[in-house]
Structure 1
Amino acid sequence: MEKKINYQFKILYFFGILFIVACHCSYGGISLGYEWFYPGAFHLALFAFGSGYFYKTSSEDHILAYIWKKFKHLMVPVLLWNAAYGVILQVLRHNKFMFGEDITLYNLFIAPLINGHRFALDFPIWYVFPLFVVQTVTVLLRKPLSKHEKVNDWVVLAISLIIGFAAAYAGRIGWNRNLRLLFVRAGYLFPFYQLAIVYKNKWEKHDKLNNLAYFGIIFALQLLIIAKYKTTIYYTLAWAIGFDKGTIFTPTIVAVLGIAFWLRVCRIITPILQKSRLVMMIADHTDAVMTHHIFSFFLLNTAYALINKLSGGTLLSAFDWTKYRTDVQYTFCPDGLVQFRIIYLIVGLTLPLLVVILQKKIKEKVKEKIKWKK
């Protein structure tokens, strides 16, 4: 039997990774309703929501196997790529580049699980371990109630909301380093993972409100929040910044509204975008985009630097060599035109796909050699 593909959630993943890449290159020269739903308020929660939607209750039958499977799928690539970028960074640091830190055992094996950001070129992968923690805690909480399906979703949702509010409070009081930071990161994401499970099991079949009423409610609620705080609320979850805005409930509320908005937008535009092979490939490899888009920015900057140098400074004369060597998120805009940042957005979304293609080719070659030897 052919597996049915949920294209709406694939498109949701595509926009989720687009928002993350855009936020890392000064919004990518475009705005997709950021004045109303700023990505920093919901884009990471959106990924937790998407991951939770595909949670299988059968995972509760073999917890250790499930946790080990998730560790291999999520954490092993993170540790391997972290080591690879650590090596690349050391070469750069010996050639006048000044971002990132040196290779140490802590930076190789511990930092990716707590703070991240050590090797700069892959700093967005800090997100992976908090998501792994959320997945692990979820299955451990759901297991004792696995025989009580009617209440399991609601009980775990209630617990996850309490943890989410506690994480927001911890962010307010300055928990932004080490294990305390891990609690804020994972705790913030936890409710959205469980909300997706409840949505799939309980609410999705009732999600039939017409678009006019649906968007009217969301925009009205968002406008009330904007009017109350005189701005669009957002957060920097990476370092637990911004949780002093609003109440301990506000981070969850604004993220839910952002997710709800884009969930319906994706439902509307799915018939169009599901036909795009590029969009589908990006949606299928958000992990690769998350891992490699900062290095893709660096490669683009390197191309700009070469053009500037080979032309004797006559081309791209405003290119800032100091920022190139010190700021891993430097975005060069010829003539100061911010619209040129869309090149960073495009490169950040597509160049990592070459890594995916290369990995597949290497695997195929290895398999062929193994078969030949046998």
Structure 2
Amino acid sequence: MRERDTTVDVLRGLGIIAVVAGHAWSGTGWTPFSPYSFHMPLFFFLSGLFFREDKFEAPVAFVLRNARTLLLPTTIFFLVYALVCQVIRAAGFVKLWQPFSVSKVLFDQFGSASAYGFTSPYWFITCLFFVRVYFALVHTRANAPLARATRGHEAVLQMGWGLLYLAGAGCAIYFAKVMYLEGPVTYLKIGLLRIAFAAFFYYVGYLAAHWKVTRFLPNVLVLVVLYVIQQQLWATGKTLDFWMQIMKFEHPILPVVTSLTGIAFMYGVAGIISSNPASSRVLAFIGANALPIVFHQLFAFFLVNVALCGLGFIKPVDVNNSAFQWHTEHMWYVYVLAGIVVPIVFDRHLLKPLTLLFNKGWRRPAAKT
């Protein structure tokens, strides 16, 4: 069993802060490391760190386990927020209303995931599910005979896989551009392209952990070099932002390059921070709660807006979408803080007690004989 790496926990914390910051429209403060230039590939990389290429999973058990931990929560919260949208309409937030649909509750998470506004980040969870299933059930079994045939040349085989997945990511970028230029744009295509793009970063995470290359990153000189590279890319390119959610890329190479440099830079920063117990404890705690933050950050933004409505700064009708922010240039940090704190409190003090109560209710005492 691999030893717990504090750096990974801190990196997860930094990554989820970047996600919330991106949704709070405060990405400009991170230039040249804009959240939308690396943050989603970072989480596939993080998941890949724990992949075992030589471990064979029982297919049905693996799918069911990951469906329970990933897809079941997304479906539950799709239902919850579908109902929330019906309730808040009566409070005057009419622009956030969408009609209730069983089909959207069950299936929209595999497409845009934005049927009910607050659920729009959920696309990442379903994409991660399919990437995990592919690597655990397909890659491992395809790799096994190749590993036997190339015994003693493990690095060559892994380089071959890496190049294959890099080619897949490049094709995803190319076909995404073609799709948006020529059409038709469909969420089935978008979903497949997302998986192909994400698979490369998942495998990079595996390689980084397997060959322990990340130990070189927490170095000031390395971080300076990475910063200069990213700064140069930002200065010469149109934009470093790309929207993995809908696979709409403006440049065929930048999404891969900026994601790799962004991941490396953030890993180095996390490594330095992890040497400070106080800072690492806070960020590791945030990272440990990354999933609730993904689920509820946009609803936390909404609660800030509800408070602003109560104080008379805005009206419910002004809140025209789930990511609405009042005076973002001055208030973005309030939304970011709420997007982190509220989901953690919500999860710990409401959802977990309810889950325990529900589980206790289903456990019936054994009949006496």
TM-score interval, normalised by the smaller of the two chains: 0.7 to 0.9
Q: In structure 1, what is the equivalent of residue 189 of structure 2?
A: 180
Distance verdict in 2 for CA 1:209–1:69, change over 3 Å: closer
Which structure ranks higher in relative contact order (CA pairs < 8 Å, sequence separation ≥ 6)? 2
How does 1:4-43 map onto structure 2 within 5 Å? 4-27=3-26, 31=29, 34-43=30-39
Q: 2:227 aligns with which of 219, 231, 254?
A: 219
**1:67 Cα deviation from its structure 2 partner:** 2.6
What is the one-letter code of the residue matched to 1:322? V
Contact 1:165–1:249 (8 Å) recurs in 2: yes
How does 1:300-315 map onto structure 2 within 5 Å? 300-308=304-312
Contact 1:300–1:344 (8 Å) recurs in 2: yes
**1:277 Cα deviation from its structure 2 partner:** 5.1
How does 1:219-238 map onto structure 2 within 5 Å? 219-229=227-237, 231-238=238-245
Distance verdict in 2 for CA 1:79–1:210, change over 3 Å: closer
What is the one-letter code of the residue matched to 1:10? D
Q: 1:362 aligns with which of 350, 354, 361?
A: 354
Q: 1:331 aligns with which of 316, 325, 350?
A: 325
Contiguous gaps of at least 5 residues in structure 2: none
**Distance of 1:237 and 1:76 partners within structure 2:** 23
**Distance of 2:200 and 2:105 partners within structure 1:** 30
**Distance of 1:62 and 1:161 partners within structure 2:** 28
**Distance of 1:106 and 1:281 partners within structure 2:** 36
What is the one-letter code of the residue matched to 1:119? Y
Q: CA offsets, 1:141-187, max 9 Å, x none? A: 23221351715533332221111111111221235531111122222
**1:70 Cα deviation from its structure 2 partner:** 1.5
Contact 1:16–1:43 (8 Å) recurs in 2: yes
Q: In structure 1, what is the equivalent of residue 132 of structure 2?
A: 135
Q: When the two structures are superposed, what TM-score results if normalisation uses the length of structure 2?
A: 0.87
Q: Which moved further from structure 2: 119-128 or 260-269?
A: 119-128
Q: CA offsets, 1:71-125, max 9 Å, x none? A: 2211111111111111111222344412352222321112111221001122111
**Distance of 1:170 and 1:274 partners within structure 2:** 46
Q: In structure 1, what is the equivalent of residue 250 of structure 2?
A: 244
Distance verdict in 2 for CA 1:106–1:197, change over 3 Å: same
Question: Percentage identity across aligned positions?
Answer: 19
**1:232 Cα deviation from its structure 2 partner:** 4.3
Contact 1:177–1:239 (8 Å) recurs in 2: no
Q: When the two structures are superposed, what TM-score results if normalisation uses the length of structure 1?
A: 0.86
SS at 1:98 equivalent:
helix
Equivalenced residue count is 352
**1:371 Cα deviation from its structure 2 partner:** 6.6
Distance verdict in 2 for CA 1:226–1:100, change over 3 Å: same
How does 1:67-216 map onto structure 2 within 5 Å? 67-96=63-92, 97-139=94-136, 140-146=138-144, 148=147, 150=154, 152-175=157-180, 176-204=185-213, 207-208=215-216, 211-216=219-224
Contiguous gaps of at least 5 residues in structure 1: 309-315
What is the one-letter code of the residue matched to 1:71? A
Report whether the alignment pairs 1:346 with 2:337. yes
SS at 1:146 equivalent:
helix
What is the one-letter code of the residue matched to 1:7? T
Contact 1:14–1:282 (8 Å) recurs in 2: yes
**1:220 Cα deviation from its structure 2 partner:** 3.4
Root-mean-square deviation over aligned CA pairs: 2.5
Q: CA offsets, 1:32-81, max 9 Å, x none? A: xx222111010001011111111234542423322322222111111111
Contact 2:217–2:271 (8 Å) recurs in 1: no
**Distance of 1:371 and 1:108 partners within structure 2:** 28
**Distance of 1:71 and 1:290 partners within structure 2:** 17
